[in-house]
Amino acid sequence: MAEGSRILRGMLCDLRSNPFQSGDALRFSEDGCLLIDAQGRIEARLEPHELPPGVPVEDLRGCCLLPGAVDAHVHLPQVFMQAAWGEKLLSWLERYTFPEELRYADPAYARRGAAAFCSQLLRAGTTTACVYGSVFPAANRAAFEAAAQVGLRAIIGPTAMDRDVPAGLRTAPEQTAGLYDALFHEFDRPPYSGVALTPRFALSSSPAQLEVCGSWLAAHPDCLVQTHINENRDEISAVRALFPELSSYLAVYEQAGLLGERTLLGHSIYTTEAELAQMARRGSWAVHCPSSNLFLGSGLFSLEAHHNAGVQVCLGTDIGGGSHFSLFESLQQVYGIAQLGGRALRAEHLLYLATLAGAEALGWQSHIGNLEPGKRADLVCVDLQRDPLLAERLRHCDDGDELLFALLFNLRREHIREVYVDGVPRGPALAELIGSLAGSDG
Ligand code: GUN
Ligand code: ZN
């Protein structure tokens, strides 16, 4: 047995595959063991009777170990304006979002934002996130640093805009490539982090900026692209007015060469059948953001329509349009919205959307997303006994499927005992980062 290995023993629950495509995807073990090597990788899944001698065991019986959540759409510079009252998308952007994002020009404010953001995600059980970052380079560097401090795996994109936003947020087309080059080539990023090409949406990028983005992508074909699409009816009308020669919202991104298998299109509520067919041909992903879609009154996403068209779907909180930081809590809204569409999703579908789907969308499925040997040990340890009423509820479940469903519907931050990234418990680093916020007045 390699030096430095250890074992976590408890209830294990994850997906071996995509449950929308194959049966028998849910893996549930009431009492299982993960052997974790000194480098933070899952070496093996074992039964308790198979435990090798001499390897320290952390006894987590009474807890459930889930894979860390993967939030595929979330805005860092909106961490302090989540729960902003009373507006729909376009007026919400004007009234709250753009003024807040301008504040990240101040490096001290940006450091506080980064610390709060990474702490909020990690303590909610999110271990990997694809992030809309700032236009200000120092703010993005602070974001990578805060993420590394707590162990959050972050793919971050400077949010590119050059029209219809305050002047301080604009990047001229000829400077747009530099925004990404600075992070991609010149900044020493932590391992398992990344940079995403991030033109905000069709309304805030001129054709010239979109073209630059397309060229940058052609030179960096493995890079992720993230943007918004078909979120709000007024937004769609404005896109139509701005690009009258194009047949659809999607065509704006298609024309710029931005659609591929590593493209994440946030919201996609009013996407037409023709657009869905094109997304499927390109292999692009839709990111369902249920919390935000409800909070901003944007509309109801159809998982069914996307799947019927062959479009894959993952999940995002979309903070600050989203009203909470927990992707696990978003599952309750995913379920309710699917019910309104006539479909009752199973526990395995919900868990997939919060974990393995995001890993696949980011192209990181060989490293994260489930508890498969060979993957990083990114885990959420949920204490099933901390709340006696939750414990009592779970005692009334007959099998793993039922238990997981009840657990996902009741899982709150208070039930999370620990979050592990690379097998390392991140509670102490998290407490330190949160403490640094409390101890400074910014
Ligand atoms: N569309 C363009 N920018 C944004 C944003 O910051 N949040 C949401 N929800 N939609 C957008
Ligand atoms: Zn968004």
What DSSP letter does each residue of 64-104 carry, written as one string? EEEEPEEEEEEEGGGGGGSS--S--HHHHIIIIIHHHHHGG
Nearest to 268 by CA among 248, 284, 286, 295: 286
For residue 413, report the distance from its CA to the centre of ligand 2, in Å: 23
CB 214 within 8 A of CB 258: yes
Nearest to 97 by CA among 202, 172, 169: 169
For residue 89, report the distance from its CA to the centre of ligand 1, in Å: 7
Distance CA 41, CA 44 (A): 9
**Between 107-123 and 137-150, two packed helices, what is the crossing angle to 10 degrees?**
30
Tokens of 300: 């109801």
Check pocket membership of 228 for ligand 1, CB cut-off 6 A: yes
Single-letter code of the amino acid located at 131: V
For residue 203, the ligand 1 atom closest to its alpha carbon is 2
For residue 320, the ligand 1 atom closest to its alpha carbon is 7
Note the residue count of the chain.
Answer: 442
For residue 362, report the distance from its CA to the centre of ligand 2, in Å: 16
Strand blocks (E) in 352-394 = 379-383
Give the SS3 label for residue 276.
Answer: helix
For residue 73, report the distance from its CA to the centre of ligand 2, in Å: 6
Query: Tens of pLDDT along the chain (442 residues)?
Result: 668 999 999 999 999 999 999 999 999 999 999 999 999 999 999 999 999 999 999 999 999 999 999 999 999 999 999 999 999 999 999 999 999 999 999 999 999 999 999 999 999 999 999 999 999 999 999 999 999 999 999 999 999 999 999 999 999 999 999 999 999 887 788 888 999 999 999 999 999 999 999 999 999 999 999 999 999 999 999 999 999 999 999 999 999 999 999 999 999 999 999 999 999 999 999 999 999 999 999 999 999 999 999 999 999 999 999 999 999 999 999 999 999 999 999 999 999 999 999 999 999 999 999 999 999 999 999 999 999 999 999 999 999 999 999 999 999 999 999 999 999 999 999 999 999 998 665 5
CB 347 within 8 A of CB 26: yes
Q: Residue 265 belongs to what H/E stretch?
A: strand 263-267
Give the SS3 label for residue 259.
Answer: coil
Distance CA 176, CA 54 (A): 55
- Does the model's pTM come out above 0.95? yes
Nearest to 271 by CA among 235, 320, 224: 235
DSSP character string of 210-221: HHHHHHHHHHST
Instruction: Give burial (CB, 10 Å; 0-12/13-18/19+) of 424.
Output: middle
Distance CA 195, CA 199 (A): 13
Distance CA 442, CA 403 (A): 44
Ligand nearest to the CA of 292: 1
Check pocket membership of 230 for ligand 1, CB cut-off 6 A: no
Distance CA 38, CA 24 (A): 31
For residue 321, the ligand 1 atom closest to its alpha carbon is 9
- The two beta strands, 224-229 and 263-267, are parallel
For a ligand 1 pocket test, name from 82, 102, 231 the mutation site with the most ligand atoms within 8 angstroms of its C-beta.
231
Tell me whether the omega of the peptide bond preceding residue 299 falls within 30 degrees of 0, making it cis.
Answer: no
Establish how many alpha carbons lie within 13 A of residue 209's alpha carbon, considering only the half-sphere containing its beta carbon.
Answer: 24
- Write down the residue that tokens 């793993």 correspond to: 400
For a ligand 1 pocket test, name from 80, 228, 264 the mutation site with the most ligand atoms within 8 angstroms of its C-beta.
228
Ligand nearest to the CA of 293: 1
For residue 200, report the distance from its CA to the centre of ligand 2, in Å: 8
All structural domains of the chain: 6-67+377-433 (2.30.40.10), 69-362 (3.20.20.140)
Distance CA 243, CA 252 (A): 8
